Chains A and B, each alone.
Chain A
Amino acid sequence: MASPSDSQTASSLIETIQLEHVPSSYTVLVGLFKDVSNAEFLQQQLLGRNSEYEYAFIDASSVISRIQVLAAVYKAITIHMSGSMKTPNVHSEIVCSLSPNNNISEAYRRFGITPSSSKHLIIVKVLTPLPAITTTTTSSSPLTPQAVHQHLFANVKGTPTPFTDEVLQSGLTDWAKVRKYYKLNGVGWLDSIKDESLRRREAEVLVLGSMALRSL
Chain B
Amino acid sequence: MLSQIREHIFETDVLVVGGGLAGNNAAIAALERKAKVIIAEKASLERCGAIAGGVDHFMAYLNTAPWDTREAYLEYVAKIARGAINIKIQDAVFCRELEDALERMERIGCTLKQSDGTYFRTRALGQPGPYFINFNGKNLKPALAREAKRLGVKVIEKCMITDLLFDGDKVIGALGFNIRTGDFYIIKSKATILATGCTTRLFQNPTGLPFNTWQCPADTGGAQVMAFKVGAKLANMEYMRITVVPKGFSAAGLNALTGMGGRFINARGEEFMKRYHPMGDKAPRSALVEAVIKEIQKGNGPIYIDCTHLSKSEIDHLNKTLGYDKDTLPDFLQQKGIDLSKDPLEVMYSEGMQAGPAEVCGSGIMIDEDTSSSVKGLFGAGDCTDQMRCVHVCTTGGYLAGKKAVEYAQGLSYLPKNDVKEIQKIKSSIYVPLTKKDGIPFQIIENTIRRIMWDYAGPVRNEKSLKVAIQKLEMLSEEAEKLKAKDFHELMRVHEAKQILEVGKIMCHASLERKETRFGVFHFRSDYPETREEFEGEIVIWQENGKIKKEFKKLDYTKII
- Are chains A and B native binding partners rather than an unrelated pairing? no
Chain A residues in the interface with B (C-beta under 8 A): none
Chain B residues in the interface with A (C-beta under 8 A): none
